[in-house]
C-alpha cells in the first residue's frame, strides 16, 4: 500500500484535472480490447457535429455516459465507450460558406473539390476543439477507437447500405413534394421542419365560374401560390357545390381554366368548403393532385424567387410577389376580405428560414418495410426506452411513418453512389465507381451530384463504428451495444433510424436500452439558443468551477427524461460540496500519518458501527439507483451521506478519540474506519466526480494505479447494523435538541451548559449511557445527568422531548433571565409594529387595486414571516414563565 503526502490547503481543480486526465489516457485506462473472459459493456457516443463548440446539452449527455461507463468498468465489465463526431452536412457546409462569404467568395468560385478541401480543414480544426472539450469534461472514452461519419470505414458502410437498399427496391428516385429551404438550398426531411405559430392573414378570394355569373369563394394564407393552382376542390357530399363539380373556374390574374373536383380531403365545415389545389406547392394538394391526375405547376425557383410560370411576377421574391398579387387581386375585384389569422408555419431547423414545399426529383427510402421489425423490437422490449413513456412516442411515429427523402443538394457529405450513362441514360448503382456503362459500354458516366442526409450515415453508427460491413471481432463482441444515452429531442431524427437500420442489416437491435434525458434550459425555463443569447459555455464553467462541479450539478436533481434548469447558484452549492469533501479528506489524512491499514479492528464504538452501516446502505442505494438509471437519485444519496453523515457527524464524533488520551487500539479503530469509509466513498463517488476522487484516493493508503480500475463497493448485509443506527439516531436527536435550546436562548457556543435527561426507560438509559461522550462533546455539556425517571421537573429550565426522552437545560447561571425576557419583549414590540404596518397595506383596498402583483406578494410574504417570528418569541417567553 502507498500514499502520497497530505493534500494542499485548497483544492485547485485546473491543476488536478489536467494531471489526472493525461495520466489516465497515457496509461490506456480508457481502452477496451476484445476479451471473451469478461462481460462487455458498450456505449457509442452520440457524435457531436463538427460545427463549433460543445454546448450544455453535450455536457449533460456525455456526463451521463461517463458515469455509466466508469461505474460498469469498476464493476468488472469490459467497458467500451466509443467516441466520434458527425460531419453534419447542412450545418457544416453553411458555416464554411459563411466563412467564404467574408472573403468575398462562394463555393462556386472554388469548385466542388477545392470547396471540400476547405470543409475538411474546418472539420479538422473543430474536431480537435471538440475532442479537447470532451477531455476537459473528464470523458473516459476510448480515443484509440474514435470514428468520424465520413472516415473511410464509415463511408464504405454508408455506400453499402445505399446499394443494398436500392437493389432490394427500398430506395427509389421520384418527383415528390419535399421541404425546401431557400437559404440552405437543400431539401430537408419532415422531422427537420420546426413548426411554430405565426401571425398571418387569410386572404378571401373569389374565382369566377366559367360561362356563368357565379363565383366560388375560398381563402388562402399564401396568395403567391395561386399562380400554380390546377383545380379547386369541394367535398363530394357538399350539396352547395354538386352542380359545379366537373365544370371549370377561371384562375384570377392568370386567366387559366381549372376544373372543380370533388375530394374527401376537403372539410365542408371549414371556411366556405372550397379549397384551391396547388399540387406543386402543398403536400396535401400534391396527394389530391395524384388522385385526380392534375398537372403540377411549379411557380417558384429554389432561391425563393418566382419563375417564368409566374408570368408578370417572374423574378420577384416570394413575399414581394405576395404583396403584389394581393394589390392586383384588389384592383381586379377578386379580393373579398382579409382576416388576421395565426397558423403553424414550418421553418428549417438549421437556419430558421420558412420552408417552401416544392415538387422535386429526389431519392427516397421506402419506410414501411423497414419500420415493421423496428416496431416489433420495441413492442417485444428487445429495445427498452427509459423512461418507458418514450416507447409510446417512438411507436406512434414509427407506425405513421412516411417515406424518407434522403438526398440533399449539398457538396459536403456522402455522395450518392449512383451514376448516369450520358449516352443511353442507364442508371448504375454500385459500391465501387463503374468504369463503363453495363448496358451500352460507354465510358461517359456522371455521378449523381447530391449527397445523403446526414442522418442516413449516423443511423448506422452503432455497427459502422465497430467495423461493419466487415465482421471484425469488435463487432461480434461489443454488438449489440448496452445502452444509448441521448436527448429526448432526437428520438425521431436518430434513435428510430438506428433501430430500423440495425434490424435490416444486423438482424438485431443496436442497443438493449435507450436512456433518454431532457434538455438543459436556462433559469427561466427557456431553451438555450444563440438568438436568445442565453447559452452557457460548459468550458467557461469548467475553467471557473472545475469539471467535477459542473458534472455533479448537472446530475443532482435530474430525473430521467425531464428537462433541467441551469442555475449558477446550484454551481456554487456544488463547489461548496467539493470543498467540503476536500477539507474532510485533509482532516482524515492529517490523522492517518501514523496509520498503516492492517487487520480490521474487532471492537467498534457505536459511532463506528453506525457509519459503517450507513455507508453500506449508501452503497446499495447508489448501486440500485444506477441500475435503474436514476443517476440524480444516486448522486443525491451520495451528497447526503458525505455531507450530513460522514462530514458533519462521524468526523466530529471521532475527534475526541483522535485527539484525546484513548488507547492505541481505540485510535487505530477510529483511523481504520475513517480510512475505509473515505476510501470506499471515493470509489462510490468516482463516476460522478472523477478528478477530485482520484486526487484524494491517491493520497490515501491504497493498492493499484488508479481509482478508476478499483472494484465498485458491494453491498454486504453483514455490515448493516440496525441497532447501532437506531442508537446513534437517538443520540443525534438529543444533541440537536440541546443545540436548538442553546440557539433559542442565545447561549454562546463557548459556554458549556448543564443538561438533565429523563430517559423514561431502561433501554433508552442504556443507549444514552453508551453515547454519553458524544452528547457531552457535541452538545457542549458541562455536567450531564442521566436519570431513568426524574422525581420532579427541574426549575427554570428549557425543555424538549425527543423519542420519549425528556431533555432539560437549567438556565440559572447560564442565561440572565430578566435580560433575556427584556430582549424578547423588545423583539416582540418590533415585530408587532411591522405586522401592523403590513396589515395596514393588505387591508387597504386602494393598495390592493393599484399595486403590482409582485409587490402584493412580497407584502404577504412579509406578513407570514413576521407572524411566524412573533409566534416563536411568544413561545420562548412562555417557556420563561412570561404570559
Q: Residues 196-205: pLDDT tens digits?
A: 888 888 899 9
Give the model's confidence band at 777: pLDDT under 50 very low, under 70 low, under 90 confident, else very high. very high
pLDDT of the residue at 816: 66
pLDDT of the residue at 257: 94
pLDDT of the residue at 5: 61
- CA pair distance 71, 61, nearest whole angstrom: 16
Query: Which H helix or E strand runs over 78?
Result: strand 78-82
Give the model's confidence band at 268: pLDDT under 50 very low, under 70 low, under 90 confident, else very high. confident
Q: For the residues 337-354, what does the mean pLDDT come to?
A: 82
- CA pair distance 70, 364, nearest whole angstrom: 41
Q: pLDDT tens digits, residue range 799-828?
A: 888 888 888 888 877 766 777 777 778 888
Give the model's confidence band at 261: pLDDT under 50 very low, under 70 low, under 90 confident, else very high. very high
Give the model's confidence band at 847: pLDDT under 50 very low, under 70 low, under 90 confident, else very high. confident
Q: For the residues 324-340, what does the mean pLDDT come to?
A: 92
Average pLDDT, the chain: 91
For residue 190, pLDDT beyond 80:
no
Phi then psi for residue 761, to 5 deg, are: -160, 160
pLDDT of the residue at 531: 67
Q: DSSP of 801-846, one letter per residue? A: EETTEEEEEE-TTTS-HHHHHHHHHHHHHHHHHHHHHHHHHHT-HH
Domains of the chain as residue ranges with CATH: 186-357 (3.90.740.10), 545-555+567-705 (1.10.730.10), 725-815 (3.30.2320), 818-879 (1.10.287)
Q: For the residues 62-67, what does the mean pLDDT come to?
A: 97
Q: For the residues 409-438, what does the mean pLDDT come to?
A: 94
For residue 865, pLDDT beyond 50:
yes
pLDDT of the residue at 628: 96
Angle at 790 between CA 788 and CA 795, to 5 degrees: 145
Indicate whether this model's pTM tops 0.85: no
pLDDT of the residue at 292: 92
Region of 296 please: left (phi>0), alpha (psi -120 to 50) or beta.
Answer: beta
Residue 135: how many CA atoms within 13 Å on its side-chain side?
19
Mention every residue, 6+ apart, whose C-beta is less than 8 A from residue 208: 214, 215, 249, 250, 252
For residue 2, pLDDT beyond 50:
no
pLDDT of the residue at 848: 86
- CA pair distance 282, 279, nearest whole angstrom: 6
Please enumerate, by residue number, every residue annotated as part of a binding site: 530
In the three-class reduction of DSSP (H, G, I as helix; E, B as strand; rest coil), residue 282 is classed as coil
Q: Which residue has the cell 452557457?
A: 536
Give the model's confidence band at 448: pLDDT under 50 very low, under 70 low, under 90 confident, else very high. very high
Mention every residue, 6+ apart, whose C-beta is less than 8 A from residue 200: 221, 340, 341, 342, 343, 345
Q: pLDDT tens digits, residue range 301-317?
A: 989 999 999 999 999 99
Please enumerate, by residue number, every residue annotated as part of a binding site for ATP: 530
> Considering only CA atoms, which of 164, 141, 110, 189 is closest in space to residue 28?
141
Angle at 240 between CA 250 and CA 338, to 5 degrees: 60
Q: pLDDT tens digits, residue range 621-670?
A: 999 999 999 999 999 999 999 999 999 999 999 999 998 777 889 999 99
Angle at 873 between CA 870 and CA 877, to 5 degrees: 140
> Considering only CA atoms, which of 433, 465, 456 is closest in space to residue 153?
465
- Whether 824 contacts 876, CB under 8 Å: yes
Give the model's confidence band at 578: pLDDT under 50 very low, under 70 low, under 90 confident, else very high. very high
For residue 1, pLDDT beyond 50:
no
pLDDT of the residue at 724: 94
Q: For the residues 62-78, what does the mean pLDDT come to?
A: 97
Cα-Cα-Cα-Cα dihedral sign, residues 27, 30, 31, 35: positive
Q: For the residues 842-846, what does the mean pLDDT come to?
A: 88
Q: For the residues 685-709, what does the mean pLDDT come to?
A: 97
Angle at 672 between CA 669 and CA 674, to 5 degrees: 105
Q: Which three cell numbers stand for residue 805?
A: 426522552
Q: Which three cell numbers stand for residue 524?
A: 427561466
For residue 165, pLDDT beyond 80:
yes
Q: DSSP of 351-410, one letter per residue? A: T-PBPEEEEEEEEEE--HHHHHHHHHHHHTTSSEEESTHHHHHHHHHHHT---EE-EES-
- Whether 370 contacts 503, CB under 8 Å: yes
pLDDT of the residue at 749: 79
> Considering only CA atoms, which of 312, 331, 330 is closest in space to residue 321?
312
Q: For the residues 697-708, what does the mean pLDDT come to?
A: 95
Residue 153 DSSP code: H
pLDDT of the residue at 163: 97
- CA pair distance 49, 475, nearest whole angstrom: 24
Q: Which three cell numbers stand for residue 680?
A: 470506499
Whether residue 216 has a cis bond before it, omega within 30° of 0:
no
Query: Please, what is the angle between helix 13-26 and helix 690-699, to 10°?
Result: 80
For the chain, give the percent of residues with pLDDT over 90: 65
Q: pLDDT tens digits, residue range 598-617?
A: 999 989 999 999 999 999 99
For residue 745, pLDDT beyond 90:
no
Q: Which three cell numbers stand for residue 833?
A: 409594529
Amino acid at each position: 500500500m502507498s500514499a502520497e503526502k497530505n493534500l494542499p490547503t485548497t483544492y485547485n481543480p485546473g491543476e488536478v484535472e489536467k494531471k489526472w486526465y493525461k495520466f489516465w489516457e497515457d496509461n490506456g485506462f480508457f481502452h477496451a480490447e476484445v476479451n471473451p473472459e469478461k462481460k462487455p459493456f458498450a456505449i457509442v457516443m452520440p457524435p457531436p457535429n463538427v460545427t463549433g463548440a460543445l454546448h450544455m446539452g453535450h455536457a449533460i449527455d456525455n456526463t451521463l455516459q461517463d458515469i455509466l461507463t466508469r461505474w460498469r468498468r469498476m464493476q468488472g465489465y469490459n467497458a467500451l465507450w466509443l467516441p466520434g463526431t458527425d460531419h453534419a452536412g447542412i450545418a457544416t457546409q453553411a458555416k464554411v460558406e459563411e466563412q467564404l462569404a467574408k472573403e468575398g467568395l462562394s463555393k462556386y468560385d472554388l469548385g466542388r473539390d477545392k470547396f471540400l478541401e476547405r470543409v475538411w480543414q474546418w472539420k479538422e480544426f473543430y474536431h480537435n476543439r471538440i475532442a479537447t472539450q470532451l477531455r476537459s469534461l473528464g470523458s473516459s472514452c476510448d480515443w484509440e477507437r474514435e470514428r468520424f461519419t465520413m472516415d473511410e470505414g464509415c463511408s464504405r458502410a454508408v455506400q453499402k447500405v445505399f446499394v443494398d437498399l436500392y437493389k432490394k427496391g427500398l430506395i427509389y428516385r421520384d418527383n415528390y413534394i419535399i421541404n425546401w429551404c431557400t437559404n440552405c438550398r437543400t431539401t430537408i426531411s419532415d422531422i427537420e421542419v420546426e413548426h411554430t405559430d405565426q401571425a398571418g392573414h387569410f386572404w378571401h378570394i373569389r374565382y369566377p365560374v366559367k360561362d356563368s355569373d357565379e363565383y366560388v369563394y375560398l381563402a388562402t394564407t399564401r396568395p403567391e401560390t395561386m399562380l400554380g393552382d390546377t383545380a379547386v376542390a369541394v367535398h363530394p357530399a357538399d350539396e352547395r357545390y354538386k352542380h359545379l363539380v366537373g365544370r371549370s373556374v377561371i384562375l384570377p390574374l392568370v386567366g387559366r381554366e381549372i376544373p372543380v373536383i370533388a375530394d374527401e380531403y376537403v372539410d365542408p365545415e371549414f371556411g366556405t368548403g372550397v379549397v384551391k389545389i396547388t399540387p406543386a406547392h402543398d403536400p396535401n394538394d400534391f396527394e389530391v393532385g395524384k388522385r385526380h391526375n392534375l398537372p403540377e405547376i411549379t411557380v417558384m425557383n429554389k432561391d425563393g424567387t418566382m419563375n417564368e410560370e409566374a408570368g408578370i411576377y417572374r423574378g420577384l421574391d416570394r413575399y414581394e410577389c405576395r404583396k403584389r398579387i394581393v394589390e392586383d387581386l384588389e384592383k381586379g375585384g377578386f379580393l373579398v376580405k382579409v382576416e388576421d389569422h395565426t397558423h403553424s408555419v414550418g421553418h428549417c431547423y438549421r437556419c430558421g428560414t420558412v420552408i417552401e414545399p416544392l415538387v422535386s426529383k429526389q431519392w427516397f427510402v421506402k419506410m414501411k418495410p423497414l419500420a415493421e421489425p423496428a416496431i416489433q423490437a420495441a413492442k417485444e422490449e428487445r429495445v427498452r426506452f427509459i423512461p418507458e413513456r418514450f416507447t409510446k412516442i417512438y411507436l406512434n411515429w414509427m407506425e405513421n411513418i412516411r417515406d424518407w427523402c434522403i438526398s440533399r443538394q449539398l457538396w459536403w457529405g456522402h455522395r450518392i453512389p449512383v451514376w448516369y450513362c450520358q449516352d443511353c441514360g442507364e442508371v448504375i448503382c454500385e459500391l465501387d465507381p463503374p468504369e463503363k456503362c453495363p448496358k451500352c459500354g460507354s465510358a461517359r458516366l456522371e455521378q449523381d451530384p447530391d449527397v445523403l442526409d446526414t442522418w442516413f450515415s449516423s443511423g448506422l453508427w452503432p455497427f459502422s463504428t465497430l467495423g461493419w460491413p466487415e465482421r471484425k471481432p469488435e463487432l461480434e463482441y461489443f454488438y449489440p451495444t448496452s445502452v444509448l444515452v441521448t436527448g429526448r429531442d432526437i428520438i425521431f431524427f436518430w434513435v428510430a433510424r438506428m433501430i430500423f437500420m440495425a434490424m435490416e442489416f444486423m438482424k438485431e437491435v443496436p442497443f438493449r436500452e435507450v436512456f433518454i434525458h431532457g434538455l438543459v434550459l436556462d433559469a427561466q425555463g427557456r431553451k438555450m439558443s444563440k438568438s436568445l443569447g442565453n447559452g452557457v459555455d460548459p468550458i467557461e464553467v469548467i475553467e471557473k468551477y472545475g469539471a467535477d462541479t459542473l458534472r455533479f450539478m448537472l446530475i443532482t436533481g435530474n430525473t430521467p427524461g425531464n428537462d433541467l434548469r441551469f442555475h449558477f447558484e446550484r454551481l456554487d452549492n456544488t463547489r461548496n460540496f467539493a470543498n467540503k469533501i476536500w477539507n474532510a479528506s485533509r482532516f482524515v489524512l492529517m490523522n492517518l500519518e501514523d496509520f498503516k491499514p492492517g487487520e480490521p479492528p474487532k471492537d467498534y464504538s457505536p459511532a463506528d458501527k453506525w457509519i459503517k452501516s450507513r455507508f453500506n446502505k449508501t452503497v446499495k442505494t447508489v448501486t440500485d439507483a444506477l441500475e435503474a438509471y436514476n443517476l440524480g437519485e444516486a448522486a443525491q444519496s451520495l451528497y447526503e451521506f458525505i455531507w450530513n453523515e460522514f462530514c458533519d457527524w462521524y468526523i466530529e464524533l471521532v475527534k475526541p478519540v483522535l485527539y484525546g488520551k484513548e488507547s492505541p487500539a481505540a485510535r487505530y479503530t477510529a483511523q481504520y474506519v475513517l480510512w475505509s469509509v473515505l476510501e470506499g466513498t471515493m470509489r462510490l463517488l468516482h463516476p460522478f466526480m472523477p478528478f477530485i476522487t482520484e486526487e484524494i484516493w491517491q493520497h490515501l493508503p491504497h493498492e493499484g494505479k488508479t481509482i478508476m480500475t478499483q472494484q465498485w463497493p458491494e453491498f454486504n448485509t453483514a455490515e448493516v447494523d440496525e441497532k447501532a443506527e437506531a442508537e446513534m439516531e437517538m443520540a443525534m436527536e438529543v444533541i440537536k435538541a440541546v443545540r436548538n435550546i442553546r440557539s433559542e436562548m442565545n447561549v454562546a457556543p463557548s459556554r458549556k451548559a448543564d443538561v438533565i435527561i429523563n430517559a423514561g426507560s431502561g433501554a433508552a438509559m442504556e443507549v444514552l449511557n453508551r453515547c454519553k461522550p458524544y452528547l457531552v462533546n457535541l452538545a457542549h455539556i458541562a455536567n450531564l445527568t442521566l436519570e431513568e425517571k426524574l422525581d420532579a421537573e427541574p426549575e427554570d429550565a428549557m425543555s424538549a422531548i425527543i423519542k420519549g426522552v425528556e431533555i432539560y437545560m437549567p438556565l440559572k447561571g447560564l442565561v440572565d433571565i430578566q435580560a433575556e425576557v427584556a430582549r424578547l419583549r423588545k423583539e416582540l414590540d418590533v415585530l408587532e409594529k411591522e405586522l401592523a404596518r403590513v396589515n395596514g397595506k393588505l387591508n387597504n383596498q386602494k393598495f390592493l387595486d393599484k399595486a403590482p402583483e409582485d409587490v402584493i406578494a412580497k407584502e404577504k410574504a412579509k406578513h407570514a414571516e413576521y407572524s411566524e417570528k412573533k409566534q416563536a418569541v411568544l413561545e420562548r417567553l412562555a417557556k420563561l414563565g412570561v404570559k
